[in-house]
Amino acid sequence: MTAKLPAHVAIVMDGNGRWASKRLLPHNAGHRAGAQNLRTLSEEIEKLGIQYLTVYALSTENFSRPEKEVQGLLKLMHEYFQQYIEDSKKNDMRMRFIGDTTRFEPELQQKIETLKTLTREKKGLQVTLAINYGGRDELVRAARKLVREAASGNLSPGDINEETLARTLDTFPTPYPDLLIRTGGEKRISNYMLWQLAYAEMYFSDVLWPDFGAKDLQGALTWFAGRQRRYGGR
Ligand code: FPP
C-alpha cells in the first residue's frame, strides 16, 4: 500500500449528469448511481485505513437546479439515509453532517439526527456528508455566531484567532482534509470547504463520479504519496 496515506480525503463527486446522459438516462439516474458509488467507495476507503471522508452531496447552489432534480436528490437522501441507518447496525462508520440542515423538511432532519446519534460512538471511517453546504455560507454563519457571543459579552475582538474561528465552523472537530479529489474533469473547488482546504493537495480526475472506482482511488493515493507538503514553509 501507499507509504503516505492521507488521514482525511474530501471528494467533489462531479459528473453524475454526464454519466446519465451518456446512457440516455434522466439526470437523477446519475445521482442514484453516484449515491451507490459513494457506499461502495466508502467501504474501500475504510478498508485502506483512511480515517476521515467528507463528500459534497448537495451544495447551497444546487437548490437552484430544476425542481425535478432537486426533488430527486432529496428523495435519494431520504432513501440512502434510511439505508445508512440500517447499515449502522452492522458497520462501524460514524456519520456527521455539515451545511445548513435547517432548510430540510422535518422528516429528513429527523433521519439526520437519528444517524448522528446512532453512530456517535463508532470508531471506523468518520464520514461527513455536506448537504445544503456552501463554504461562504458556513463562514457567514460562523461570523454570526461570533458576533452573537460578542454581543452577549462573552467574546472580545482579541479572542478571535484561527483556532476560535475554526471552532465555530461546521466541520469542527474534524481535522482539515489532506487530499481533495474532484471527479468529472472540472478543476475548481466550487465553494467547498474554503477555509479547511487551505493546504490540501488537489487531485483532479476526468472519470465521472459513478465510474470512479477502487483503481481510480488508488491512482489518487499514489499521486498523494509523491507530494511534498510544505504548508507555506520550505
Ligand atoms: C454533481 O454532478 C453532483 C451533485 C450535484 C450531487 C452529488 C450527489 C450524489 C453523488 C448523491 C449523494 C447522495 C446521497 C444520498 C449521499 P452533476 O449533476 O453536476 O454532474 P454533471 O456535471 O455531469 O452534470
The greatest distance separating any two alpha carbons of the chain, rounded to the nearest whole angstrom, comes to 59
Residue 162 CA to residue 219 CA, distance in Å, equals: 33
Band (3; pLDDT cuts 50, 70, 90): low
Q: Across the strands, what pairs with 53?
A: 9, 127
pLDDT in tens, 156-212: 999 999 999 999 999 999 999 999 999 999 999 999 999 999 999 999 999 999 999
Protein residue closest via CA to atom 13 of ligand 1: 35
Q: Which amino acid is at 206?
A: D
Angstrom distance (rounded) from CA 182 to CA 204 = 5
Q: What is the pLDDT of residues 113-155, one digit of tens each?
A: 999 999 999 999 999 999 999 999 999 999 999 999 999 999 9
Measured CA to CA, the distance from residue 137 to residue 145 in angstroms comes to 12
What are the CB-based long-range contacts (under 8 Å, 24+) for 200-206?
200/10, 200/176, 201/6, 201/227, 201/229, 203/179, 205/181
| Whether pLDDT at 2 is above 70 | no
Q: Looking at the annotation, which residues are catalytic?
A: 14, 62
- Mutate which of 11, 12, 14 for ligand 1 pocket (most atoms within 8 A of beta carbon): 14
What pLDDT was estimated at residue 233? Answer: 85
Is 29's C-beta closer than 6 angstroms to any atom of ligand 1? no
Question: Which residue's alpha carbon is nearest to atom 3 within ligand 1?
Answer: 14
Residue 162 CA to ligand 1 centre (angstroms) = 32
Query: Residue ranges of the alpha helices (H) in 94-204?
Result: 106-118, 135-151, 162-167
The predicted-structure confidence for 89-106, as pLDDT tens digits, reads as follows 999 999 999 999 999 999
Give the integer Cα–Cα distance in Å for 92 and 122: 5
**What's the mean pLDDT in 16-38?**
98
Pocket test for ligand 1, best of 16, 23, 65, 68 (most atoms within 8 A of CB): 16
pLDDT in tens, 51-85: 999 999 999 999 999 999 999 999 999 999 999 99
Pocket flag, ligand 1, residue 99 (CB < 6 Å) = no
Q: What type of residue is 180? A: L
Top pLDDT among 219 and 233 is at: 219
